[in-house]
Copies of this chain bind each other. A is one copy, B any other.
Amino acid sequence: MRYAIIGTGAIGAYYGAKLAHAGNDVHFLLHSDYDYVKEHGLQVDSCDGSFHLDAPQVYRSTADMPDADVVIVALKTTNNSRLLPELLTPLLHTDPTVLLIQNGIGVEADVQKMFPKTQIAAGLAFICSAKSEPGRVNHQCYGSINIGNYSCHDTAQLKRLIADFDAAGVKAAEVDYHEARWKKAVWNMPFNGMTVALGAQTDKILANAATRQLIYDQMLEVIGAAQALGVKGLDSTFADKMIESTLQMTPYSPSMKLDYDFHRPMEIEYIYSHPIAEARAVGFDMPKLAMLEAELRFLDAKNRG
């Protein structure tokens, strides 16, 4: 299968490079790193074994890219409404599977509104990686990806995509779309914002009794919202599990904290506003996470003002 990677950052570059390194036909859209990668290739420093792509197929514009079977979108969601209409249009006339490896809740619905006939799948990446310098990705740990079918009729192609990931050394599985997005939100909603609001990593926040309880209460808000929206397979034991597994992790800065620390826009819209509004629409209130959303709106404006 042929792949197009839109957004060659810490996530897109890693998964695209893994697919290419395994022999798939992968085409990368690049922006600021184009010249560097064109000349020097793409380096992946990885806990699973580092490697280098000497001559990746790179482009400045999606209009120049060949038709692909799968288009992987790994932009920050803060770019979606501004960039996706122009970037995706040239790639859609052959009805590819569009895999959105993006954060939050409500992303697929909004992209579907832009492109009503497009086949969309959700990619949930469980990975610690960062772009350390131009053309270089540092993959620290984890790396699996869960894939949920949002609106794909070509389910055979979705299975081939999962098989390609697996063959490339990326653990991949198909999951229930709705359940997967909300399960991930149980961790994402508390920790992304609280690490920003408190200026601290996960370990420090859990070491303090007051904020550990707060994180737990916020997780229960997400679980309550998911239940109110009819999502199966989530109860309070999942919050206990998430706290326990976070205690086992090395001290961690979620993507929102990195965005904040580097004065980039934070993904408040899809990590907070959309799920909070979805829950409110069915009468479920998330007061502590709504407060966190307001604090983040303020801090984001101050941080980039």
- The reply to whether the CB of A297 lies closer than 8 angstroms to some CB of chain B is yes
Please report whether the interface of chain A is mostly helix, strand, loop or mixed according to DSSP. Answer: helix
A-B CB contact pairs (8 Å), 30 listed: A197-B295, A198-B295, A198-B298, A198-B299, A198-B302, A199-B302, A200-B298, A200-B302, A204-B302, A205-B298, A208-B297, A208-B298, A208-B301, A209-B297, A210-B293, A210-B294, A210-B297, A211-B294, A211-B295, A211-B297, A211-B298, A213-B294, A214-B291, A214-B295, A217-B291, A287-B287, A287-B291, A288-B290, A288-B291, A291-B292
Number of copies: 2
Which one of B208, B214, B294, B299 contacts A214 once the chains associate, using CB atoms below 8 Å? B294
- Collect the chain B residues with CB atoms within 8 Å of residue A295's CB: 197-198, 211, 214
Residue ID in chain B nearest A268 by CB atoms: B210
Contact flags A214-225 to B (C-beta < 8 A → 1, else 0):
100100000000
CA distance A288 to B294 in the complex (A): 11
- Residues of chain B within 8 A (CB-CB) of A288 are 287-288, 290-291
User: Nearest chain-B residue to A208 (Cβ)?
Assistant: B298
Question: How distant is the Cα of A293 from the Cα of B214 in the complex, in angstroms?
Answer: 10
Q: Which parts of A261-292 form the interface with B (CB within 8 Å)? A: 287-288, 290-292
Inter-chain contact B197/A197, CB cutoff 8 Å: yes
What separation, in Å, do the CA atoms of A291 and B194 have in the docked complex? 11
| Min CB–CB distance A17 → chain B (angstroms) | 39
A214 vs B302: C-alpha distance when bound (angstroms): 17
Q: With a CB–CB cut-off of 8 A, which chain B residues contact A205?
A: 298
* Beyond known contacts A209-B297, A213-B294, A217-B291: 4 more, CB 8 A cutoff: A198-B302, A214-B294, A287-B291, A291-B291
Which residues of chain B have C-beta atoms less than 8 A from A301's C-beta? 208
Which residues of the other chain, B, contact A292 by a CB distance below 8 angstroms? 291
Map CB proximity to B onto A77-105 as digits: 1 under 8 Å, 0 otherwise. Answer: 00000000000000000000000000000
A204 to B299, CA, bound (A): 11
Q: Do B298 and A210 touch across chains, with their CB atoms under 8 A apart?
A: yes
In the complex, A299 Cα to B210 Cα: how many Å?
Answer: 11
Nearest CB in chain B: distance from A166 CB, A: 42
- CB-CB under 8 A from A214, the residues of chain B are 291, 294-295
